[in-house]
Structure 1
Amino acid sequence: MTNKGPVMFLTGYQTPAAIRRTGAKRIETWLKNRKVKGAAALARTAVEAAQAQHTALPGEELAAAMVVRLAKGVMALEEEIAELDALIEARFHEHPLAAVIRSLPGMGARLGAEFIAATGGDMDAFGSADRLAGFAGLAPQPRDSGRVSGNLRRPRRYHRGLLRTMYLSAMASLKSCPDSKAYYQRKRAERKGHKQALIALARRRLNVLWAMLRDGACYRASPRGATAA
């Protein structure tokens, strides 16, 4: 999603000459009236850039009109996306297991909705946490050949959307969940890279989420000092 400030700015000012004539103060006021964050800095940057350019290019006015149309189109699309996101979140909250899913740190409404869309929200369809992990591409499978053994790789077929959901959730949980942070740090201490540690954390959290949904129980942090989640 684009930054609203610059796109909003382009609906009103497109050419260096117009920006110079208007000045930073009036542009700042124009942006503030449209509730653009960082209006002063954006106005100042635009005027400084306009003052450094005094060459008028052929077709500049036509290009400016096209920029206005494109900018308004982008803003309309962003409004539609925001409305769709709100609708998805509302539908997610109607799901009987929404509270259980959201109780897992790092699993917000949007990621929760993506989890339900990928799995149907019914853990009986998977039978075990291992099968769910395999579906998500978080359970490496042996790829032995000839005399080489112990070679583990991600399965060729897995749900990439579910893998993304659990990966992003694991990343977000590092900021709010001591259990997740402790588990991640333990994996890093085992000389795993950042991505490897996050994948391991995502697998661990998927196991926890599967058990939560199976039992219909919300997440409970481990006692202080434990690193179970």
Structure 2
Amino acid sequence: MPRELVTSPNYTKGRNNLIYCGIDWAEKTHDVALVEDTSELLAKRHITDDAAGYKVLLDLLAEYGETDESPIPVAIETSRGLLVAVLRTGTRQVFAINPLAAARYRGRHSVSRKKSDPGDALVLANILRTDMHAHRPLPQDSDLARAVTVLARAQQDATWSRQQVSNQLRSLLREYYPAARDAFSIWQNGLCRHEAHEILRLAPTPARAARLTRTQLQAALKRAGRTRGIESDAERLRESLRSDSPRQALLVEDALGKQMLALLVQLEAACTAVDGLAKAVEEAFPQHPDAEILLSFPGLGIQLGARVLAEIGDDRQRFADARGLKAYAGSSPITRASGKKSSITRRWVKNDRLNHAGYLWAFSSITASPGANSHYRHRRDDHGDWHAAAQRNLFNRMIGQLYHCLQQRKLFDEHTAFPSQLAASA
């Protein structure tokens, strides 16, 4: 049962003092604390993680004067979940406080290291009371942008999982079946292709591979969807799988083959997930109004453009200027000075997903844009940058251009983006 509401006897409705809310969330229950700008604790409550608990929370906020015109800001240590979705309705600002930052604030109220959930809720409320200007609220993105965020991140996670399982399978084949690994290496993403899966199911061990016929190999390639080059590939695979190589003991080889088949099931599931989510992204992303602007940039396709949109969102007030977006992406350098020493280094605290997408974006734009290629060469040849530094500098410039185009609702223009580089190339 929820705990009884604790209210200060000195509190009277109608005060003009500002009120702040802190929520320490958990899997089944949450602790809520309300404080005013005089640091007085107005109320605390223990609610459940269900519809009844959410109603208690909203009623509590309304009881202390929350309206659409004067919402009560809320601090919580997560940015996801149903509780956050409920809090984000209306005009209320929700601040996702980093747990590490909250732990530092805890020492301001107690020198002991003991921790309690009601105390953490009070700490979160006081963070907004004292330093709300130093924390960024969750962006007010549209529902479509948030849906693209879910799909793009899921597709990216599935791609990383597929690569991880593929690496495990490649390492296992190296231990007992190197001929199969070499036979599929000629194909791009060889172990992730349907042809490789059909052949590995047909011949999970070198002993089984030695008995494969051309007809069986051709049938396996047809089941995988191949329509051309079947005979030549079947002959190449037959010779490669029958090549002489060291062998494990027969019982050990058979056991490793069973382990490989188990990994193959995981890899096939990961490949199916990647393809399904990629199709979902292709359906959702072009519907967004910013898709046309993002796709006008060289090096950005549907999947990569969706990843960029997923991380920057469509809230135009989220970043005050292009410098804020560059710092968020980790593309701009940071200067650290202490006494007589100063250093300029790359950023370590950043949005890792956006930074990863920026690396792929800059790499692709080098071949897709003459201006981007000239800028990259200028950084390499004239400034002496290494490849990663030159590519990061190119990403820094292009994401600044993206910020301008999104704010002004303009498409990318090569001559406007790289006038000096194109003139030098000419």
1:178 to 370, 373, 376: 370
Identity %: 24
Please say which of residues 59-68 and 84-93 is displaced more in the overlay: 59-68
2:298 maps to: 105
CA shift at 1:178, angstroms?
Answer: 0.7
1:161 to 350, 353, 361: 353
Give a deviation string over 1:15-69, Cα, whole Å, max 9, x none.
3333232324531342134225875446634544335369660265555445334
1:10 to 191, 194, 200: 200
The TM-score with structure 1 as length reference comes to: 0.85
- One-letter identity of the residue aligned with 1:194: H
1:64-143 pair list within 5 angstroms: 64-143=257-336
CA shift at 1:95, angstroms?
Answer: 1.2
CA distance in 2, matches of 1:9, 1:141: 51
2:362 touches 2:394 (CA, 8 Å); kept in 1? yes
CA shift at 1:221, angstroms?
Answer: 1.5
Q: Given the superposition, is the C-alpha separation of residues 11 and 38 from structure 1 closer, same or farther in structure 2, using an over 3 Å criterion?
A: farther
CA distance in 2, matches of 1:101, 1:88: 14
1:137 touches 1:158 (CA, 8 Å); kept in 2? yes
Please say which of residues 28-37 and 86-95 is displaced more in the overlay: 28-37
Q: Given the superposition, is the C-alpha separation of residues 15 and 47 from structure 1 closer, same or farther in structure 2, using an over 3 Å criterion?
A: farther
Q: Given the superposition, is the C-alpha separation of residues 42 and 200 from structure 1 closer, same or farther in structure 2, using an over 3 Å criterion?
A: farther
- One-letter identity of the residue aligned with 2:270: L
Please say which of residues 108-117 and 195-204 is displaced more in the overlay: 108-117
The TM-score with structure 2 as length reference comes to: 0.48
Give a deviation string over 1:161-189, Cα, whole Å, max 9, x none.
11111121011001111110111111112
CA shift at 1:217, angstroms?
Answer: 1.0
2:217 touches 2:238 (CA, 8 Å); kept in 1? no
Query: How many residues align structurally?
Result: 227
Structure 1: gaps (5+ residues): none
Q: Given the superposition, is the C-alpha separation of residues 54 and 204 from structure 1 closer, same or farther in structure 2, using an over 3 Å criterion?
A: closer
CA distance in 1, matches of 2:245, 2:371: 54
Structure 2: gaps (5+ residues): 1-162, 164-190
Q: Given the superposition, is the C-alpha separation of residues 103 and 43 from structure 1 closer, same or farther in structure 2, using an over 3 Å criterion?
A: same
Q: Given the superposition, is the C-alpha separation of residues 160 and 42 from structure 1 closer, same or farther in structure 2, using an over 3 Å criterion?
A: farther
2:399 maps to: 206
1:136 touches 1:162 (CA, 8 Å); kept in 2? yes
1:102 touches 1:109 (CA, 8 Å); kept in 2? yes
- One-letter identity of the residue aligned with 1:140: P
Please state whether the residue corresponding to 1:22 is helix, strand or coil: coil
CA shift at 1:123, angstroms?
Answer: 3.5
2:213 touches 2:238 (CA, 8 Å); kept in 1? no
CA shift at 1:218, angstroms?
Answer: 1.0
Please state whether the residue corresponding to 1:204 is helix, strand or coil: helix
Bigger Rg, which one: 2
* Bigger helix share: 1
